[in-house]
A and B are shown apart, each in its own frame.
Chain A
Amino acid sequence: MNKLMYSRRTFIKNVLMGTAGMAVTPMIIPSYVWGAEPSTLPNERITVACIGVGGQGKYDMKAFLSLPEVQVVAVCDVDDNHAQEAQKIVNDFYAQKKNIPEYKGCDVYHDFRDVIARKDVDAVMIATPDHWHPIISIMSAQSGKDIYCEKPLANSIPEGKAVVEAVRKYRRVFQTGSHERSRDNARYACELVRNGRIGKLHTIRVNMPVDNHTPIPPQPEMPIPPGFDYDFWLGPAPKEPYTEKRCHFWFRYILDYSGGEMTDRGAHIIDLGQLGNGTDDTFPISVEGKGFFPKEGLFNTAMSYEFRFEYANGVELLGKSVGPRGIKFEGDKGWIFIYIHGGDLRANPPSLLQETIAPNEIHLGRSKGHHKNFIECVKSRKDPMAPVEVGYHTATMCHMANIAMRLGRKLNWDPEKEMFVNDDEANRMMQPSMRAPWTLG
């Protein structure tokens, strides 16, 4: 049933009635005349299960908890400590909200397959390490769940493609967790670029410093902590002895599980490059890059790098691992810089940031928050701010850059066939490996 809009008439009438016969009282117009949010009835709540509730997973989970139209009904993690901690957060939150001593409505799972088998789960949030994203996404789609999955979409290009296929074939709503895309400032900046406020866009510069995560020495094998199912955590990745710095936060610096900073924050920053360049639905046509890969130690993703993408429309995207984290769009009449994270803007000329986008110009829409946008789209069945294709194109660019750096030569890419041109090695390098019994369904 459509929600009824509040009528200003209703409120003004109330004000009039409230002051009838009291002409001496000032007519105070309550602020709620200008809009109020309808409450959410229980039967309209979207039930969400959270798979992977470590650091980022808990952040995402809390974001969903804060939405009144969502009920978090389950958490799942192969680390029992994470799972129980997350369960407590959820139960405490609802207890407080309902003003009751105890709430026990959030279930805990170890195996994501049990979660997606539940008929009462509408959507899943996936914040596992990258190498798990495709399998869980595809199986969730096959089970009829809508999906919010952290970026990057997948740890390899073919896996990403398989996710796109599954999401579209099963008509699921999919939001990639590239939340910078939902920031008002970022969208405004991209609108300025798309509407020619900086003139003709010619260069996009991406700064992706690698924080304090430097190469580390070889790590000893350690006993697996109690409650942590390490083999399940490895999943399709090769079997390796357990050491603390292989798992949880640190996975992102090991190629078997992730693509380093390139696919971590690169997936945010390059993603905005695609949005500003108007190329969300395609790829660049070439890539080249140089990277420093640690010469020893556990971490083997690039710790410093430079790369260059070339687009069919002539725009270049240049990346490096230094500078304030963010993205700069350069045109022949000015530039705009978006800080990541936070979305603070700088421009030359500064007056660009006072510009208004006219009704007949390109508008990129606005979001009330990346998680809220996902839930709204679950209801409306429309594509959210970062649908699966957007996530796939961005992640593919990140993987292309990594491959180019490892091969040390320029690679040409066919955007239609979605493969490297005349380069079997590069094409073979982009294929995933999967340890049995895991495979893409």
Chain B
Amino acid sequence: MKNIYILINIFLTLIFLTSTTFAQEIPNIKDALNYLQTYKFGMNREPLEPILDAVKTTQNDPVKQEQLSKQLVAVLPKCTIDGKRFIARQLVVIATPSVVPGIEPLLKNNETIDIGCRILEQIPGKEATQSLIKVLKQESITEDDEVAIINSLGRRKDSLSVETLSQYLENPSQKLQNSVIIALGSIGGKEAGSILWNWAKSKSMLENSNVQSALLKIASRLAEELTEKDMALEIYSSLFSNDKVTPINRAYALRGLVQLKGKDAFEEVWQSVGSEDTVLSSSGIDLLKDKAFPDTLLSERCVSTLETAKPRLQFGLLEVIASRKITDVVPQVLNLIEKSDGELKLSAIQCLSRVGDTRAIEPLMNIALSGPRDVRETAKDALIKLDNPDGNKYLMDKMQKGNLDVRKLAVELLTERRAVEAKEIMKNAIIKNDKDIIDEALNYFAILGDEQDLPFLFDKLMADIENSSSYIPALSLIIDRTGDEGKKVKIIMDQWVKCNNDLQKKSLISLLGNIKSPEACAVLERFLTSEPALKTNIFQSMGQCVDVNTLEKIINEVEKENVDEVKNAGILSSLNILRTLNLTDKQKFDYYITLWKLTGENPTIQKNILGGFTKLSLVEVLDFIEGIKVNDTIKADWANVRFNVAKNISFSYPSRTMSILEEMLPNLKDNQAKEVENLLKGLKNKGEFLCSWSISGPYRMEDYSARRLFDEVSLPPETDLNSVKDWRILPLKVRDDGLIYADLAEYSGGEVECVAYVACKITVPEPVEGKILLGTNDGVKVWLNGKLVHSFAEGRTMIPEQDNVPVKLEKNNILLMAIYNQGAAWEFTAKLQGISPEKVEVVPYSP
């Protein structure tokens, strides 16, 4: 009977072996497996689809997966390297322990070891680990391959490898040692932890940052296991208390200690707060802020140590006291303020603000009224932010009962604290003309007043018109908050009917000016006729309306005016408008000429107008100013205009401007002199550079980055060049190496995420093929005669001739470029090659 059972077992085993050895292959992958023998990555991957399908269909079928794995492994030796990689990606997903022996040979070849490691990392079970260990122990293995296998053992996190790995801790190779340290850290657990920990202690390796990281990783995981806390605690304690451990790791260890010991870690945390290292001390501060440490413990220690601790610790404690709002320590903080100087004093003041105890108010007010400026401002700021709603009551009391300085300060603080409950007493102070604090009270209303407060303020204004300057800011700001422009004007005009003298009217005219709206301007224009005696004030107010119609109106009136004072007020107001109005250079120039002619010989006005000319890039400016009479008073301004305009248009009008620049050069110093010297060199030696450009823009669109503008937006210069009116001559610069370029960042005043368009007209004798050589920062698009010939989208630095754009020039050409700015520097340079420069005429584009 026994023999029959033995025979049956043998028979069944044979059947099993036969079924696995001669199992029916996964259908349709034979061709795919053959293909892998010649496969190179990049070739047609369709022939490999059957294998991918097989992987998918064998899901949840371990038997079929095993079959498939074996088939794949069987062809490995015959595959190309890319074929092996392909197989590896499939085995990563499905390989079983039974195929480990077939993978092992990959580990013994430097070219395939990473493939073998990758697969073995994913195969569950001890076989894969054992295979890796077996190869690791071979004598012929290279150091690099050892590292690869050690890394894989670490990633497998199998404690079976710990003993083998531990032997490498004594290896003289630092590379191997580091790998093993990291691997043990990844594996974790008590065994790996003990080995690494004991070795590190015995060899004084705790100063090695890899060891620290690995131990902390191990400790962190051990701490989560209830039975292994002791080792974690030991690791954390040792690392924290060793000042050769990096601060970041000591901080990590400290947090571990708090996690394990709770409030019993207080002394360690206390110690770290006073550390010289900011990472460690800030970790300690953060931990003390945590509710793990009860208020009583903290407050007791702070009370007894704050005043006598080292400054570093004092700073940390102030932060903790403020954060935890430990009011018991307020007397000690006040003492500290009294005894200390500098940053410590300021920090202590700020601490009181955050604690919010009203016992601090009076001392802080005293500080705010005396002492160095930074201390006073800090105390004031602390009172403004004092975190206690009763603070307002206290200040309101001081406002009514304190001495002059205290009262003023109290009002200021109530304003800054936005204490709406103080409104009534502020109002009373104004109505009663409380001279001590009336200015401050008016300021309160400027910030906090609303429409309801306007009637009494207007009454006060009218009654106290000699001091109108005190009331106007408050009234202006309140009116500004009230609503639409029409309403604002109505509020003021409702008061107009109550006016019974010119002073009152002048005040209301000022208020209208501050509105700056078309509605307000319309009223002011009407006043020009109805209130001729107040024209000076009316002009001054109209000067706030940035509108070309208002400008025209003022100029018309000025032309009719005979009184110099009134005339000058009108001219100054016109200049104010011109400074901000968006007009072309030519339009501004024409206005400046008109105003100049109206000016007479008033040097103040003339200087103002000359200042306006400085910003224009027009040769007409030079023509004009070289024809005017210049006296000593305006000579310097006149020369400044001439010089700056000449610089701006130098490349477009070289013959006109070089002499001016040469004339000015001896008077210039340092950077300015260098800039002009370079400019003159460039003017004399332009070569192939394209130097005459007009610029339109910059253009920005909300929520559109420069890249998005490039990808998605076509702006008017691209779509309809003739419709663009804001073309100006673009100033150019010359580098020390002779490169002629445009600095758009400087031109635009630092605009970013935007695009500017530059254009020129190029005339050549006959059509010709050439090249435009470009360097741009950042992206660029180029159109020649309306056709896009080049584009580059990425951010980059400007390098001369970085883009080579072949072009076919007609006799008359328009070259348009869009230069994009993603940020920081924004510039371009351009050359035209293929035709002699003498035969090319380039002028800035104009419609």
Contacts and interface: CB of A to CB of B under 8 A. Distances in A.
Interface of A: 1-2, 4-5, 7-9, 12-13, 15-16, 19-20, 22-29, 55, 58-59, 62-63, 65-66, 85, 88-89, 92-93, 96, 99, 101, 142-144, 169-171, 183-185, 217-219, 238-240, 293-298, 300, 341-344, 381, 407-409, 423, 425, 428-429, 431, 433-441
A272 B182 CA distance: 37
A62 B514 contact: no
Contact of B85 (A20, A218, A238, A434): A238
B210 A429 contact: no
Contact of A296 (B43, B412, B447, B540): B43
A54 B440 CA distance: 57
B378 interface: yes
Given A343-B703, A439-B182, A89 B43 contact: no
11 contacts: A1-B350, A9-B416, A23-B468, A29-B476, A59-B707, A170-B252, A239-B114, A295-B46, A436-B148, A437-B148, A439-B179
B800 interface: no
Contact of B377 (A4, A85, A96, A101): A4
Which 6 interchain pairs have the tightest Cβ spacing?
A218-B42, A436-B148, A62-B823, A144-B248, A26-B513, A27-B472
B700 interface: no
Interface stretch (B624-632, B682-690, B789-797): B789-797
A27 B472 CA distance: 7
A170 B151 contact: no
Contacts of B257: none
Given A24-B540, A170-B252, A344-B703, A93 B93 contact: no
Contacts of B513: 26, 28
Nearest to B746: A96
Nearest to B91: A428
Contact of A66 (B343, B537, B707, B752): B752
Nearest to A17: B469
B151 A437 contact: yes
A300 B535 CA distance: 78
B439 interface: yes
A28 B511 CA distance: 9
B42 A27 contact: no
Interface in B403-458: 412, 415-416, 439-440, 443, 446-447
Contact of A8 (B246, B446, B506): B446
Contact of A171 (B220, B251, B514): B251
Contact of B283 (A15, A171, A238): A171
A372 to B, nearest CB: 12
B55 interface: yes
A321 B175 CA distance: 46
B443 A8 contact: yes
Interface string B631-672: 000000000000000000000000000000000000000010
Given A169-B220, A295-B45, A296-B45, A59 B822 contact: yes
Contacts of A88: 797
Contact of B118 (A23, A25, A29, A433): A433
B139 to A, nearest CB: 19
Given A1-B343, A1-B346, A12-B473, A425 B55 contact: yes
B468 A342 contact: no
A62 B248 contact: no
B825 interface: yes
A19 B45 CA distance: 82
Interface string B781-822: 000000000000011110000000000000000000000001
Interface in B79-96: 85, 92-94
A439 B155 CA distance: 9
Contacts of A435: 114, 148
Given A425-B94, A436-B147, A93 B824 contact: yes
A89 B712 CA distance: 26
Contact of B42 (A171, A217, A293, A438): A217
B703 A437 contact: no
B248 A143 contact: yes
Given A55-B795, A238-B85, A12 B248 contact: no
Nearest to A298: B42
Interface in B177-224: 179, 182-183, 185-186, 209-210, 213-214, 216, 220
Nearest to B62: A424
B473 A27 contact: yes
Contact of B797 (A5, A16, A89, A96): A89
A133 to B, nearest CB: 18
A171 B283 CA distance: 9
Nearest to B447: A8
Given A25-B540, A431-B121, A65 B823 contact: yes
- Tell me if A's interface is mostly helix, strand, loop or mixed: loop
Interface string B527-542: 0000000001100110
A343 B704 CA distance: 8
B89 to A, nearest CB: 9
Given A4-B377, A96-B825, A407-B56, A295 B44 contact: yes
Interface string B830-843: 00000000000000
B503 interface: yes
Contacts of B777: 89
Given A27-B472, A58-B795, A436-B114, 9 more contacts: A7-B416, A13-B439, A16-B439, A26-B540, A27-B514, A85-B796, A89-B825, A143-B248, A433-B114
B705 A341 contact: yes
B476 A437 contact: no
Contact of B92 (A59, A431, A438): A431
Contact of A62 (B59, B117, B151, B795): B795
Interface string B496-512: 00000001001101110
A12 B416 CA distance: 13
Contact of B443 (A9, A239, A429): A9
B824 A169 contact: no
B108 interface: no
Contacts of A185: 703
A7 B777 CA distance: 41
Contacts of B41: 218, 240, 298
A218 B40 contact: yes
B489 interface: no
Nearest to A407: B56
Nearest to B47: A295
B114 A2 contact: no
A164 to B, nearest CB: 13
Contacts of A238: 85, 114-115
Contacts of B59: 407, 409, 423, 425
B537 to A, nearest CB: 6
Contacts of B704: 342
A29 B415 contact: no
A16 B473 contact: yes
B620 interface: no
A99 B252 contact: no
A66 B797 contact: no
Contact of B476 (A7, A27, A423): A27
A170 B823 contact: no
Contacts of A13: 439, 443
A172 B469 CA distance: 54
A2 B348 CA distance: 12
A393 to B, nearest CB: 22
Nearest to A340: B708
A434 B377 contact: no
A238 to B, nearest CB: 6
A342 B473 contact: no
A19 B92 CA distance: 81
A15 B443 CA distance: 12
B144 interface: yes
B279 interface: yes
A87 to B, nearest CB: 10
